[in-house]
Amino acid sequence: MTGTNTSQRFPKWVLAVDGGGTKTIAWIARVLSTDGPLIGRIEVVGRGYSGPSNPRSAGFFPATSNLGVAIVAAVEDASTELDSLSVACLSLAGVGRAAEKSELMEWAERLQLAKKIIIVDDVEPLVLAAEYEQELALALSAENQVPSDWGKSITLVVGTGSIACGVNANNESIRAGGWGYLLGDEGSGFAIGLAGLQAVCRAHDQTGPETELESAMLAQLGFASATQLVAFGYQLPLPRVEIAKLAEVVIEVSERDSVAAQIMNSAVDSMATLIGVVVKRLRLEPHAFSLALSGGIMCHQSSVVNSLLVELTQRQCAPGRIHVIRQPINGPLVLAARNLD
C-alpha cells in the first residue's frame, strides 16, 4: 500500500459503546492507521453518556432510547455525522443470546449507525481492554517490562452482577456465573447489598447479631427506621442498582464490623470459586495465566481485590499477572478499530 493510498483511506471514524445495567458510554474515535500496534493510532474525539442499556433488565425500548441518547451526544461532541462512521461496535450487557443480538442489530441497521455494525455482550471485549490498557501503560513507562500473555487469561466482572470467563492456549473458552440476580450473581454488588439489608432486618428483629450496618445503611438510604426497608425492597421495578450501591457501605463497615466482614468473606469466596472453576475447566496452571478484573466492585475497591488475590493464592490458582480495567469501553474501541477494512 502506498503512502498516498493510506492518506486517502485514513483517518477513519469508529463508534464504541459500553452499555450496562446502570449507564451507557459512547465514544467516537479517529483511527489514524491500522498498521502495527494501535497504541498512539486511536484518537477519541467525542463522548456521550446516558442511562442503562441492558435490554434484558431495562427493556428493549428504554435500552435503545438510552443508546440513542449516548450515541447522539458523542456524535455531536465529535462534530461529525453518523454517515461518517466506518465501524460501530456495541458492547452491551444482556445480549448474550442470538435473539437479543438480532433485535438490536435490526435497530442499529435501521438507524444506519455505521457501514459495519458489531454487537457483542459486555464481557467478550474486556480482554482486549485489558491488553490495550496494559500496553498503553507500558508505553508510557520508562521500565522495560514484558506485556502479559492474554492468550491464556481469565476475566472476572463484579459489578451489579458477576461473571467469569476465560480462554486457554487452544482458544477454548469457558464461562461461569452470569445467571442474574435471581439464579446466581454470587459475590456481586447486588448480592452484597442484599445480604447487608437482610442482616439489618435480622438485627432489627434481634434474630441476628447487632451490626453497624443498620445505622450505616439507614443513613445511606435516608431512612429513620428499618421498617421502611419493606417499601424500598418490594417496589416495582426492583431497585437492583440502588441495592447494588449499598455494597459500598458493606465494604466500608466490614473493616470494623464482624457481620459485614462475614458478608464480604462470603463474597470473595464466591468470586474465587468462579475463577477456580474456569481455571480447572480450561486446565490452566497457577501463575501461568493473566487475570483481568472489571466492574464497580473491582475497579473502586482495592481491599476486595487484595482479599481476592489472597484467597486465590490459598486455593493455588493465583494468576501470573493481574490488570484492573479502568475503561471497559476500550474493549469495543479496539474491536471496532480492528474491524476496519
DSSP 10-33: -SEEEEEEEE-SS-EEEEEEEE--
Name the CA dihedral angle for 195, 200, 206, 212, rounded to a multiple of 10 degrees: 110
Is 49 part of a structural domain of the chain?
yes
Instruction: Let me know whether 14 and 123 are in one domain.
Output: yes
- Per residue in 221-244, pLDDT tens? 999 999 999 999 999 888 988 999
**Beta pairing partners, 294:** 157
Boundaries of domain holding 253: 149-319
Instruction: Let me know whether 115 and 153 are in one domain.
Output: no
Strands 12-19 and 85-92: parallel
* Confidence bin at 186 (pLDDT 50/70/90): very high
Number of C-beta neighbours around residue 108 at 10 A = 21
The mean pLDDT of the chain is 88
pLDDT for 142: 56
Instruction: Let me know whether 195 and 315 are in one domain.
Output: yes
Instruction: Let me know whether 164 and 238 are in one domain.
Output: yes
- ∠ Cα 162 290 338 (to 5°): 85
pLDDT for 45: 92
**Residue 21 belongs to domain with CATH number:** 3.30.420.40
Q: What does the radius of gyration of the chain's CA atoms come to, in whole angstroms?
A: 21
pLDDT for 246: 96
Instruction: Let me know whether 224 and 104 are in one domain.
Output: no
Rounded to whole angstroms, the Cα distance separating 304 from 251 reads 8
Is 142 part of a structural domain of the chain?
no
217 in Cβ contact with 200 (< 8 Å): yes
Rounded to whole angstroms, the Cα distance separating 120 from 94 reads 10
**pLDDT value at 21 more than 70:** yes
36 alpha-carbon distance from chain centroid? 27
Number of C-beta neighbours around residue 229 at 10 A = 18
Buried b (16+ CB within 10 A) or exposed e, 170-191: eeeebbbbbebbeebbbbbbbb
Q: Which residue has the higher pLDDT, 156 or 184?
A: 156
Instruction: Let me know whether 89 and 55 are in one domain.
Output: yes
What average pLDDT does range 147-157 have in this prediction?
81
Q: Which of 33-37, 68-72, 320-324 has the highest mean pLDDT?
A: 68-72
Strands 116-121 and 85-92: parallel
Rounded to whole angstroms, the Cα distance separating 306 from 311 reads 9
* Confidence bin at 7 (pLDDT 50/70/90): very low
Quote the cell numbers at residue 171. Answer: 482458544
Instruction: Let me know whether 90 and 216 are in one domain.
Output: no
Tell me the one-letter amino acid at 285: E
* Surface-to-core class of residue 204, CB atoms within 10 Å of its CB (0-12 exposed, 13-18 middle, 19+ buried): middle
DSSP state of 35: S
CA distances (Å), origin 63, targets 68, 103, 111, 283, 297: 9, 12, 15, 38, 23
**pLDDT value at 6 more than 60:** no
116 φ, ψ to 5°?
-130, 130
Is 140 part of a structural domain of the chain?
no
Instruction: Let me know whether 189 and 288 are in one domain.
Output: yes
Place of cell 492474554: 150
328 in Cβ contact with 299 (< 8 Å): no
What average pLDDT does range 326-332 have in this prediction?
92
Instruction: Let me know whether 333 and 313 are in one domain.
Output: no
Q: How many residues does the chain have?
A: 341
* Confidence bin at 143 (pLDDT 50/70/90): low
267 in Cβ contact with 152 (< 8 Å): no
What average pLDDT does range 71-79 have in this prediction?
93
Instruction: Let me know whether 124 and 193 are in one domain.
Output: no
Quote the cell numbers at residue 223. Answer: 431512612
What average pLDDT does range 158-166 have in this prediction?
90
pTM across the whole model: 0.84
Name the CA dihedral angle for 60, 46, 48, 178, rounded to a multiple of 10 degrees: 60
